[in-house]
Amino acid sequence: MIAPALHQLADLCAAKGIEHVILCPGSRSAPLSLAFLRSGKFSCYTFSDERSAAFIGLGLAQQSGRPVVLVCTSGSAAYNFAPAIAEAYYQRVPVLVITADRPKEWIDQLDGQTIRQTKIFGEHVKRFAELPADFVHPDAEWFANRIGNELINLAQTFPQGPVHLNVPLREPLYPSVNEKAATGTPPRTITVSTHRPTLEESEWSNLLRTINQSRKILVVPGQMMPGDRLFNSLSNFLGTHRWPVAGDILSNLHGLPGFAGHADTFLGQMPDKLKHNLKPDLLITFGNSLVAKNLKLFLRNFSPQAHWHLQPDGEAADTFKNLTRTIAVDPDYFFDELHRRVPDQQVSHRVYAEEWLQHDAQARTAVDTFFTAQDQGEFSLVYSLLRNLPDRCNLHLANSMSVRYANHVGLLDNQRSIRVFSNRGTSGIDGCTSTSVGHALASPTPNILITGDQAFFYDRNAFWNNYPLPNLMVVVLNNHGGIIFNLIDGPSSLPEAEEFFITRQPLRAKALAQEFGYTYTEGMNPGWKDFFQPGGDVKIHELESSQSQNKSIFEAFRKHIKKSYEA
């Protein structure tokens, strides 16, 4: 018999708004899987590869905006969730991980599929908890309900993130043929009242004093989920106060007035004397990590007098080594209040913003002129793709060169409806495709993934499922190896580079497309309009090219940007 507490756990998840559950096949987890399946309240999916399944869950949570439940059997299955759990932790995505386990007395007794699952994800979950193996005493069911409430609430509390519930289960694991799902009173739900943090007047006085004394104020957003509230707050503020906003494609702030989205491009090539002119007096940051390495180096080497980071709770990272103050508020509240409290802009602020925007405009022009003359190689294909994206789509960028190419190209002001996603919490290549599959399952919105061959083949089990994905389009940049190791200083000059860093591989996406029955195209001119049209199943477009060609093109691009400063 399935313990009523497990049925109550499933009902509790539904009561708290959870819609999607991923159930990885297994025997020890059967009572958990059946509890969710027989509730009839969830969209349930099954994936055989736990590593891929967890990244799919990550994508489902990002797209739906709600926590997702991951269920797996005991043993090494749980370990395979770990890469996606770490990604969810650093991207602040709510996930409830439920792992089935053997009862405590059988741990380390050479029983099958039995490992030490207590705190298996370490500090990459917000909390670990474990249910009792038996529910004989009524307090055990009360405990299970309380723990379920606490974990789900915590997953959604800022900073959002994954939580882990370990569930020891005794045999028999399967219900009898005639057993029906336990029914009873609805589960008790414990709600958490939330409030928007604000600042006292004395704090605002101190902040405004620093703002008024700062001639050069720079705003730098990190990676953020797409959203209108912050975009509108910044737009209103920047309509009156011309402060430069320097970031990259993952901030999802393209189209914002005063947004310097090509900072990584021009800061990598401009002379230091010009960089010195761009040094801020006050730096204001929010969001997560940056792709833009040159922007990070600039802010570390040209430190501001003050650096404020905005986030409502939790520890703030000192990414640029110059953090002086954490302001515990939401960024949109901060800029709404500034807009109300600072009626007039300073001339120095406007002059400083214009300097940033002039460099950004110069970089945009240089990017366009370079690709007007260049119509070969994977970098050119990314430029062509980004300039032809359909409205209201999700753009997914795999790690390594895919996200870097896209960041240099950037999105235009009229592409505001395009939402950008990338696994930059841990910046691994292991689940890039699976995450985009999760998005495609959660919404009919077109999902377009740009990926390299290493990330694509590493995560090929993302396609090993029974669900049609007519809204997923994958562009594979196949140079038969990890080209980034041919570009960065260090490994490219090593005699071991070819085999042990670049790791050449002979595979082609065409064979995978044939294996799964997907639509396949190749070459430099795919016909984007037809490619982006949803229908059928997954579409895969592959550009096969040489590493030497792509290295030469990228180096020529750098020289082209640098030359624009020598003219």
Strand partners, 166: 99, 130
Count of other CB atoms within 10 angstroms of residue 212: 9
- Residue segments in the chain with a per-residue pLDDT below the cut of 50: none
Q: How many CA atoms lie within 13 A of 22 on its CB side?
A: 33
With tokens 């990244």, the residue in question is: 55
pLDDT of residue 304: 97
Closest CA to 357 of 264, 246, 275: 246
Domain count, the chain: 3
User: The whole model's pTM is what?
Assistant: 0.94
**Phi and psi at residue 523, in whole multiples of 5°?**
105, -175
**Coil/strand/helix, residue 141:** helix
pLDDT of residue 176: 78
pLDDT of residue 504: 76
* Residues contacting 253, CB < 8 A, separation 6+: 221, 224, 231, 234, 245, 247, 259, 261
List the structure tokens of 563: 């030359």
**Phi and psi at residue 540, in whole multiples of 5°?**
-125, 125
List the structure tokens of 129: 């908890």
Dist CA 56 CA 433 (whole Å): 8
Please indicate, yes or no, whether residues 379 and 516 belong to a single structural domain of this protein.
yes
Dist CA 176 CA 391 (whole Å): 52
Please indicate, yes or no, whether residues 156 and 218 belong to a single structural domain of this protein.
no
Q: Is residue 176 part of a domain?
A: no
pLDDT of residue 345: 72
Q: Is residue 187 part of a domain?
A: no
399 to 26, 49, 387, 426, 558: CA distances (angstroms):
31, 21, 20, 10, 20
352 to 134, 209, 417, 544: CA distances (angstroms):
66, 19, 29, 44
CATH number at residue 28: 3.40.50.970
Please indicate, yes or no, whether residues 408 and 304 belong to a single structural domain of this protein.
no
Please indicate, yes or no, whether residues 48 and 110 belong to a single structural domain of this protein.
yes
Q: Is residue 103 part of a domain?
A: yes
CATH number at residue 286: 3.40.50.1220
pLDDT of residue 499: 61
Domain of residue 534 covers 374-563
Q: Is residue 401 part of a domain?
A: yes
> DSSP string spanning 375-409?
--HHHHHHHHHHHTPPSS-EEEE-TTHHHHHHHHH
pLDDT of residue 181: 65
Closest CA to 486 of 401, 429, 381: 401
Q: Is residue 174 part of a domain?
A: no
Which amino acid is located at 498 in the chain? E
Dist CA 179 CA 183 (whole Å): 12
Q: Is residue 369 part of a domain?
A: no
pLDDT of residue 481: 81
Q: Is residue 173 part of a domain?
A: no
For residue 150, count CB atoms less than 10 angstroms from its CB and return exposed for 0-12, middle for 13-18, buried for 19 or more.
Answer: middle
Strand partners, 285: 220, 309
Please indicate, yes or no, whether residues 383 and 529 belong to a single structural domain of this protein.
yes
**Coil/strand/helix, residue 96:** strand
pLDDT of residue 375: 82
Strand partners, 282: 217, 306
pLDDT of residue 505: 83
Q: Is residue 93 part of a domain?
A: yes
Which amino acid is located at 29 in the chain? S
Domain boundary among 325, 360, 395: 360
Please indicate, yes or no, whether residues 54 and 119 belong to a single structural domain of this protein.
yes
Please indicate, yes or no, whether residues 141 and 33 belong to a single structural domain of this protein.
yes
